[in-house]
Structure 1
Amino acid sequence: MTFPQLTIEERIRRLDPPKGKIRAVLDTDTYNEIDDQFAVVYSLLSPERMQMEAFYAAPFFNELSTGPKDGMEKSYLELKKILGLMNSGIPAYPGSTHYLSDAQTPVESEAARNLVDRAMSSSEDDPLYVIAIGAITNVASAILMQPEIIRKIVVVWLGGHSFQWPDTQEFNLNQDLHASRTILNSGVPLVLIPCMGVTSHLLTTLSEVRDYVKGQGTIGDYLYETYLSCADDHFGRSRVIWDISTIAYLNNERFTPSVLLPSPYLSEDFRWSHDASRHLIRYVSHIHRDSVFRDFFERLAQANK
């Protein structure tokens, strides 16, 4: 498949961290881990930075689901629940019921079709930011359905591990090899936020969540109970909430230092390899953990005054 090509100048300009308010959608496997719920809430608590237009349910398959379809459906219901708790009228759409079978064939879904429609109605001067915190199947499918959206979107994806990590067998990236390769190879403007070695610093504890999240309205109590139930024993235990890194990047670029680097190749055994001639992506190399959590806690408290 042939994808549209951006000039180097266009790509660098598109990959500049946004300065003003943006339009955004969030693609999430919300039922998979508790950090997705935090990210959904964080996005809705940031109206001066982002106008959320839609939420998409992503597939996942682990011990919490019987397969990608079941994982997506559970995520869709969880999305609807959170949006209801926050009295939000922003729509949510069900996504892919399975992963890409090859590098050419998209998976039809309401989410992918909605993304195509929203992207194609966007101006190249006002791109749609596609925040992705799960398997990238819905987003890759939209690109395969209509490659022209590459000119009209910026993808901010929590996927893979840091380039220094010995492998990149991270859950989001690992689930759908064809979709992950589509995002890395298509030339879509991409902000890649790695897990191990970068966002793995976004740790918090039950004590901190009890102090700064519990009691902050219905949604604060829901996030606290969700955190509490994620482990039987919280003594001496912390939990990474890395999905919020994507929202933090868009809220304040100083929270997430980044650099422009050539897009990596992804091997069959889920390892990175590099070629300096490849198109550029923006790569987040560090997270200021305290700044991110402070921003989240302050926004939650302000919303519940």
Structure 2
Amino acid sequence: MKIKTGFIGSIILAVLLFAAFPSLAQKQKVWLDSDTGNEMDDLYAIVRLLKEPSVEVVGLSSAHFNNPDLLVFEKWNAYETKGLNTLEDSQRLNELILKTMGLTHIPHPKGADRQIGRAWGGTEPRDSPAAREIIKIAEALPDGEKLDILTLGALTNIASAIILAPEILPKIRVYALGARYNQQNRAWSKNEFNIRNDLNAFDYLLDLADFDFTVMPLETALPLKYDREETYERTDDNVPIEKILADRWREQNPQDKTRVMWDLALVQAYLLPQHSEILSVNSPPENKSFTVRIYSKIDKDALMEDFWKVLKQ
């Protein structure tokens, strides 16, 4: 009888705890914004996040990767540039991943097809289904909860959402891959692919007051390099999502013996804070915010082994 009473008491205590502290029963809501069509590492990052049991992925949006090369060269990576719609290709791959993993119930709206403002600057937003869905989810959050937004490409969709609905600012935290930061001389450089694809958006975000913003500079992600043959060996073509990952390397970068998994580094550092370090540093001097957080270091070996372990679950 005592055992039964103790068991019932434990259930009652658990119910009371969840009632008093509802956050114990909730997973962190995460939105991922990705220029998936650009390179191969986006796919690995998306799959890793979707397989994470400790968070709730509430959205996967597509981002453009428009850049000047598309206007003057016949090829961009493995694509013919003629007629290439970068947003649509990112959207196509997002939908393929979700369908393959049986997760099409996750919202996957299209983002903007170009930068905010114009070539000379400006902060005119690019309205899109992605920006509107981000706003909707953020506004619906109860007091005290935040939406974590991870961005793997140009920051257009996130900046546009904030410009369209500035009231969501206290309800979001943004983690972005992009820019360069030299920790020795404490110098920033915006001369980097993601930032160049929407410099206006990056500057807009760095000018915001009280914005929860963490950046992974390229130098920090650089150590996370995957070997081509090892990747082929560790992916199983009989498992559809693993075949998609291996095929992406085969189709996009077959000549590369190794690849830096830039986007995967950000997702892994976010999910596994015990294997990364964050510093508060001065913002670029031309921007209005005083400080910004950066990922300053990652444990590449721990992040790599975690990926393979989770992929097989």
Q: TM-score range by the shorter chain?
A: 0.7 to 0.9
Partners of 1:69 and 1:97 within 8 A in 2: no
Mark the runs of 5 or more structure 2 residues left unpaired by the alignment: 1-25, 71-75
Mark the runs of 5 or more structure 1 residues left unpaired by the alignment: 1-19, 268-274
1:146-161 → structure 2 map (5 Å cutoff):
146-161=165-180
Q: Say if 2:107 is the partner of 1:91.
A: yes
User: What is the alpha-carbon distance in structure 2 between the residues aligned to residue 280 and residue 216 of structure 1?
Assistant: 48
Q: Deviations over 1:90-119 (max 9, x none)?
A: 121011021112433111110111111111
Higher mean Cα deviation, 245-254 or 112-121? 245-254
1:173 is aligned, of 166, 183, 195, to 195
Q: Which of the pair has more CA radius of gyration? A: 2
The percentage of counterpart residues that share the same residue type is 27
How far did 1:215 drift?
Answer: 4.2
Cα distance 1:51–1:295, how it changes in 2: closer, same or farther (>3 A)?
Answer: same
How far did 1:229 drift?
Answer: 2.2
Higher helix share: 2
Q: Deviations over 1:139-193 (max 9, x none)?
A: 0001111111110000010011123477331111111111010121113210111
Q: Secondary structure at the match of 1:99?
A: coil
Letter of the 1:95 counterpart: G
Cα distance 1:239–1:210, how it changes in 2: closer, same or farther (>3 A)?
Answer: same
How far did 1:211 drift?
Answer: 2.6
Q: Say if 2:78 is the partner of 1:56.
A: no
Aligned-CA RMSD value = 2.2
Q: Say if 2:49 is the partner of 1:43.
A: yes
Letter of the 1:82 counterpart: I
User: What is the alpha-carbon distance in structure 1 between the residues aligned to residue 116 and residue 221 of structure 2?
Assistant: 27
User: What is the alpha-carbon distance in structure 1 between the residues aligned to residue 53 and residue 167 of structure 2?
Assistant: 28
How far did 1:51 drift?
Answer: 0.3
Specify the alignment match of 1:25 in structure 2: 31
1:123-138 → structure 2 map (5 Å cutoff):
123-138=142-157
2:124 is aligned, of 105, 114, 117, to 105
1:243-282 → structure 2 map (5 Å cutoff):
243-265=263-285, 278-282=289-293
How far did 1:41 drift?
Answer: 0.3
Specify the alignment match of 1:8 in structure 2: none
The TM-score, its normalising length taken from structure 1, stands at: 0.82
What is the number of equivalent residue pairs in this alignment? 270
Letter of the 1:259 counterpart: L
How far did 1:122 drift?
Answer: 1.7
User: What is the alpha-carbon distance in structure 2 between the residues aligned to residue 166 and residue 140 of structure 1?
Assistant: 20
User: What is the alpha-carbon distance in structure 1 between the residues aligned to residue 290 and residue 27 of structure 2?
Assistant: 26
